[in-house]
Amino acid sequence: MRRVILFDIDGTLLWGGPAKDAFCDAMVEVYGTAGDVENVSFSGKTDPQIVRELLAGSGVDSDVMRAGLPLLWAGYTARLEVGLDDNPVTVLPGVRGLLAALSEVPDVGVALLTGNIVRGAELKLGSAGLWDHFALGSYGSDHEERDELPAIALERARAMWRPTLQAIDTIVVGDTPRDVSCGQAGGTRTMAVATGYYGVDELRQTGADHVLEDLSDTANVLSLLTA
């Protein structure tokens, strides 16, 4: 295995769907409040980080928050699974073609690096027929701090593909400055795509190795990812 590509999900591969509503409804069920939804951005964060930020200042202490997480994840993913039928996700431009092309490259491993808990990632990607493209991943359920996720993904890639894989052999693909900064913190290469809430100019300021409008030019994206 020569190169490992680590894809973010929301804003990079998919858009929309019922996840935020499902998340907030589960928060109310478990904690009695959804927290400061109006002022907390979900973009680029891990699911546990979102919970912590939503509940900051709500009167729910950290021990209660941590104790409630298993129930929260169960309630959230149950609602997400049902909600995807009526409110499906949208696959972003070029994603299907790129993943199909990558599946034909024998020495490139395709994986995930996402703030979603693993079951949330599986439900979202599975509903779009994309889950089977990814051999492994690192998730918000692995660690609250996104900067820790590249090392977790790399450890799993070494176990599955090649023990001598290094961070420089991987590239993180995402749509937010946090995706870029976590790759940089982990020593990986980075590709930013302006298919989320951040434009090309904002993403260029992150120092990403590559910045694209979207993933629709399959040949160009493939060349950048596998070079």
Q: Is 152 exposed, middle or buried (0-12, 13-18, 19+ CB in 10 A)?
A: middle
| Per-residue confidence (pLDDT) for residue 227, from 0 to 100 | 84
The 10s digit of each residue's pLDDT in 57-113 is 888 999 999 999 999 999 999 999 999 999 999 999 999 999 999 999 999 999 999
Instruction: Provide the pLDDT for residue 50.
Output: 97
Residue 226 zone, left/alpha/beta (φ > 0; ψ -120 to 50; rest): alpha
* pLDDT band at 43; cut points 50, 70, 90: very high
In this predicted structure, what is the pLDDT of residue 119?
A: 98
DSSP string across 207-221: T-SEEES-S--HHHH
165-211 tens-digit pLDDT: 999 999 999 999 999 999 999 999 999 999 999 999 999 999 999 99
CA pair distance 5, 188, nearest whole angstrom = 10
pLDDT, averaged across the chain: 97
Provide CB contacts within 8 A for 63, sequence distance 6+.
none
- Go through the domains of the chain in sequence order and give each one's CATH number: 3-16+90-226 (3.40.50.1000), 19-86 (1.10.150.240)
Tell me the pTM.
Answer: 0.97
pLDDT of 225 higher than 90: yes
Going by pLDDT thresholds of 50, 70 and 90, the confidence category of residue 124 is very high
Mean pLDDT of 130-135: 98
Task: Express each pLDDT in 147-164 by its tens digit.
Answer: 999 999 999 999 999 999
**Mean pLDDT along residues 7-17:** 98
**Section 20-39 average pLDDT:** 95
